[in-house]
């Protein structure tokens, strides 16, 4: 082994799907749905693993702009129409992510599950996999393309079909706790949670469709916090951060 071999980072996880909720882009002070500084900080975190050759797929939510269920409850919009509005919101976020990543020198492709050929490639699995193999970050927008689903399920689906080694789910807290750590000082964090417990306890981290898809495909899910810089990098290098559902 040469000296240069020794200094090359050797990530444990070579292909990841990172699920970002739309809310992570929001400006917590003025409530604006997309905060440029937050967006940039997230993209810089993605670039850190892109730079060491990790193949990265991003699934972005739309909850900072529109959610079908709350649209139906509060605004009187038909549920399926609301869901399509939510899926379109993910495309807005996807465009923002693509723009920001490109400005950082990252090669990106945006694919949408709802065809929108002026803005994004249509989602085509083989093409997406090829982009990943060539080291391009792929942003999967438009959710699954179907109402009544969530972008968590879209993330579980894209991770399963692209053969990702891990689904990383960024949340506000640094893992899964026995009770809400923001309300209870004595809350205990789990390092590992079996899929079946996550499903049985109906953990609010992801919906049950997403959990069961991961369980069937033996896809590990890492629940972690984006608030700690370097988390994605540490996780792909195999450091035990957050909570692993497997």
31 among the known binding-site residues?
A: no
For 140, the token pair is 């999967």
Q: What stretches of 75-206 adopt beta strand conformation (E)?
A: 108-112, 121-122, 137-141, 166-171, 176-177, 189-190, 192-193
| Residue 25 per-residue DSSP state | G
For residue 23, the minimal CB distance to ligand UDP (Å) is 6
161/171 Cα distance (integer angstroms) = 23
- The residue ranges that bind ligand UDP (CB under 6 A) are 21-23, 61-63, 67-69, 82-83, 86-87, 89-90, 143-144, 146-147, 149-152, 154
DSSP single-letter state for residue 40: H
Q: Give min distance, CB of 71 to ligand UDP, in A.
A: 7
Query: Rounded to the nearest whole angstrom, what is the least distance from the CB of residue 195 to ligand UDP in the complex?
Result: 20
In three-state secondary structure terms, 141 is strand
Of all helices (H) and strands (E), which one includes residue 225? strand 221-225
Name which of 90 and 243 has its Cβ closer to ligand UDP.
90
In angstroms, what is the minimal distance from the CB of 59 to ligand UDP?
8
Q: Which is nearer to ligand UDP, 143 or 242 (CB)?
A: 143
212 is in an annotated binding site: no
Q: Which of 103, 87, 204, 213 is CA-nearest to residue 158?
A: 213
* Shorter beta-carbon distance to ligand UDP: residue 39 or 89: 89
233 is in an annotated binding site: no
Which residues fall in the annotated binding site for UMP? 62, 83, 144-151
């Amino acid at each position: 082994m040469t000296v240069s071999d020794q200094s090359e980072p050797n990530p444990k996880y070579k292909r990841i799907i990172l699920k970002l909720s739309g809310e992570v882009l929001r400006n917590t002070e003025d409530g604006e749905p997309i905060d440029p500084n937050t967006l940039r900080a997230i993209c810089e975190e993605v670039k850190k693993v892109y730079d060491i050759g990790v193949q990265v797929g991003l699934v972005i939510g739309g909850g900072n702009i529109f959610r079908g269920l709350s649209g139906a409850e509060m605004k009187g919009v038909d549920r399926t129409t609301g869901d399509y509005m939510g899926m379109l919101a993910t495309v807005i976020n996807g465009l923002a992510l693509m723009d920001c990543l490109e400005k950082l020198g990252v090669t990106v492709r945006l694919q949408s599950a709802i065809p929108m050929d002026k803005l994004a490639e249509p989602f085509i699995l083989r093409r997406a996999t090829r982009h990943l193999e060539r080291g391009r970050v792929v942003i999967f927008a438009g959710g699954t393309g179907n109402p009544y689903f969530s972008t968590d399920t879209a993330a579980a689906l894209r991770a399963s079909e692209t053969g990702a080694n891990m689904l990383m789910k960024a949340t506000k807290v640094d893992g899964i706790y026995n009770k809400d750590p923001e309300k209870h000082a004595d809350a205990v964090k789990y390092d590992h949670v079996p899929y079946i417990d996550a499903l049985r306890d109906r953990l609010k981290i992801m919906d049950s469709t997403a959990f069961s898809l991961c369980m069937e495909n033996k896809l590990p899910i890492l629940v972690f916090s984006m608030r700690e810089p370097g988390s994605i990098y540490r996780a792909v290098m195999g450091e035990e951060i957050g909570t692993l559902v497997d």
